[in-house]
Amino acid sequence: MSIELLTILFFVSLILFLALGLPLSFVLGGVSMVFIYATWGPQAFYMVAAQTWGAMNKFTLVAVPLFIFMAMILERSGVANDLYEMMYLWFGPVRGGLAIGTVVICAIFAAMCGISGAAVVSMGTIALPSMLKRNYDKLLAVGCINSGGGWGILIPPSVIMILYALISGESVGKLFAGGVFPGLLLLVMVSTYIAVRCYFQPHLGPALAPEDRGDWGKKLKAFKAVLLPIIIVLMVLGSIIGGVTTPTEAAAMGVLGALISALVYRQLSWRVIEEAALRTLRLTGMIMWILFGAYCFSSAYHGMGAPHLIEHLMTYIPGGPWGTIVFIQIVIFILAMVLDPAGIMMITVPIFLPFVKAHGFDPLWFGILFTINMEIGYMTPPFGFNLFYLKGIVPPSISMGDIYRSVIPFTIVESTGLALVMIFPQIATWLPYKVF
C-alpha cells in the first residue's frame, strides 16, 4: 500500500473511532498499534513501551499533578470569597464594576494556578449570584466568568505550557514568561469591553446604590485579601522566572501556599485534602494516559512516513507562511470544539511544529498562540469545558442557550487579542527574551 493511502487511512480511522466515543488515549494507542504492526512489525512495540518509561521519567512532568493539586485546594480554600468581597467594595461603585472585579479575580486565580477549572467554579458560585442579585444582565455576568475562567492556562503557571514545553523542547520558564503580557492584554481588553458597554448601557451592569458601598476604612481593611495570593504568586512565579528553583519545586511550594491559605481561612480538613488528591490523580492520570497513547501515535505517524504527505498537502495552503499559521490556528480552533486541550496539543504540535519552525517562526510564540486559542476553545460551544462547569452551577433561570449566547461578544474580544499577538509577536516574546 502506498504511503499516501496509508496516511489517509490512518487519519480516517483515528477520526472514525474518536467519533464512536472510544476514549482518546485508547484511540491513539490502539489505531497506532495496528498501523505500527502493519508497517514495522511487532518489534516496534518495544520502542513504544520504552517511550512510556521515558514519559514516567520526565522531572518537569512531576509539576503537572502538583499544579493541579494546588488548584484543587485553592478552589476550596475560601480565598475567592475574600477577593470578591474586596473587588465588591473597590469596583462596585463603577458601572459594570462587579463584572470587571470578577475578571480581575479570574486573572489573579490564573496567576496562582495552572488550570482553568478553579476560577470558573469559584466565580460561578460566588460572583454570579451576587451580580444577578444586583440586577446585572445575566448574559454579561455569565459571559465574563466564562471568558476570565479560561485564563488559567495562559497566565503562568500553566499545565498546558508544561506539556507544550515537553513536546517542543522549549523551556518552561520562557513559556511562562511569554504568557504574562498576552494574559494582561486579554484582561485589559475584556475589562475595557465591559466598562465601555456598561457605561453606555447602564442597565447591563448598574453601579451599586450608595448605601451598599463601603467607606474607606472598610475598603482598606478588605485589601488584605490580596496579600496571600500575592505571596503565593511571588513564591511560585518569582522562583521560576527568577531561576531560583525548577518549575517542579516551585509547584511544590505552591501546594504549600494553597494549604496555608486553606488553613488561614479555616477550610482545611482531611476530607478536603482527600477529595482534592483523588481529583488530582484522575486528571493527571487522564492526561498521562493520553500522552502514552500520543507516543504510540507519534511513532506510527513518523514510522510510516506520514510527514511526507502532510508536508505535501501543506504546500497547497494559500498565503505563504502566514497562511500556514492562520490555517493551523483554524484547525486547532475546530479541534477545540470537540476535544480536550491536552489531547489536541499532543496530536497537533508534533505535526505542525516542524512547519512553524521551517517558516522561520518562533516556536515559543507559536506556543503562546496555541494556548490563547485553547483558552478561547474553553468558552466556545459545543465542547467548551467552561460551559459545562457553568451549567453545573448556574441557577435554573439561566439556560444552556443563555450560556452559549453570552460568550459571543467575549469570543470576539479575545479573538481580537489573539490576532494582536499574531501581528505583534513582541507582546509574547519580549519578556522571555528579556529575562532569560
Partner 1 sequence: MKILNKTLRLIDWINDRAGRILSLFILVMSGLLLMEVVRRYLLNSPTVWANELSQMLFGAYVVLCGGHILASGGHVNVDILYSRLSRKTQAKLDIITSFLFFMFCVMMVVYGGSLAWESLSTFERSQSAWNPPIYPVKLTIPLGAGLLLLQGLAKLMRDILIAVNKGEDYTAVAPQEKETL
Shortest CB 385 distance to partner 1, Å? 5
| Cβ contact 328:138 at 8 Å | no
Could you tell me which of 120, 94, 92 has the C-alpha nearest to residue 105?
120
Subset of 304-343 contacting partner 1 (CB under 8 A): 338-343
Q: Which of 11, 40, 265, 289 binds partner 1 (CB under 8 A)?
A: 289
CB of 37 to partner 1, least distance (A): 8
What residues from 70 to 99 belong to the interface with partner 1 (CB under 8 A)? none
Question: Within positions 389 to 428, which residues make up the interface with partner 1, using CB under 8 A?
Answer: 392
DSSP letter string, 64-130: HHHHHHHHHHHHHSSHHHHHHHHHHHHHTTSTTHHHHHHHHHHHHHHHH-S-SHHHHHHHHHHHHHH
Specify the stretch interacting with partner 1 by CB under 8 A; choose among 130-138, 269-277, 347-355, 395-403.
269-277
Closest CA to 304 of 5, 18, 45: 5
Assign residue 51 a region (left: φ > 0; alpha: ψ between -120 and 50; beta: otherwise). alpha
Residues 199-228 that bind partner 1 (CB under 8 A): none
- 194/339 with CB nearer partner 1: 339
The burial of 264, by beta-carbon neighbours within 10 Å (0-12 exposed, 13-18 middle, 19 or more buried), is given as middle
Q: Which residue has the cell 495570593?
A: 229
Of residues 153 through 192, those in contact with partner 1 by CB under 8 A are 153, 159-160
**302 sits near partner 1 (criterion: CB under 8 A):** no
Please choose, out of 81-89, 240-248, 350-358, 397-405, the segment that lies near partner 1 by the rule CB under 8 A: 240-248
According to the binding rule CB under 8 A, does residue 9 interact with partner 1? no
Query: Which residue's CB is nearer to partner 1, number 100 or number 345?
Result: 345
State the cell numbers at 47.
520502542
249 binds partner 1 (CB under 8 A): yes
Interacting span for partner 1 (CB under 8 A) from 57-65, 208-216, 224-232, 356-364? 57-65
Q: Residue 424 has which C-alpha cell?
A: 505583534
Closer Cβ to partner 1, 29 or 409, answer by number: 29
The rounded distance, in Å, linking the Cα atoms of 347 and 132 is 41
- What is the closest distance, in whole angstroms, from the C-beta atom of residue 381 to partner 1 in the complex? 10
The answer to whether 381 and 387 have CB atoms below 8 angstroms apart is: yes
Q: In 3D, which of 401, 427, 80, 68 has the Cα closest to residue 226?
A: 80
**From the list 5, 8, 12, 50, which residue makes contact with partner 1 (rule: CB under 8 A)?**
50
The half-sphere exposure of 95 on its side-chain side, counting CA atoms within 13 A, is: 14
User: For residues 96 and 149, which CB has a smaller minimum distance to partner 1 in the complex?
Assistant: 149
Per CB under 8 A, the segment of 20-28, 174-182, 207-215, 395-403 that binds partner 1 is 20-28
Q: Quick one: which segment of 122-130, 151-159, 352-360, 361-369 binds partner 1 (CB under 8 A)?
A: 151-159
One residue of 167, 189, 286, 420 binding partner 1 per CB under 8 A? 286
Backbone phi and psi for residue 44, each to the nearest 5 degrees, phi listed first: -70, -20
With cell 489517509, the residue in question is 8
The reply on whether position 110 binds partner 1 by CB under 8 A is: no
Q: Among 76-84, 101-109, 138-146, 249-257, which window interacts with partner 1 (CB under 8 A)? A: 249-257
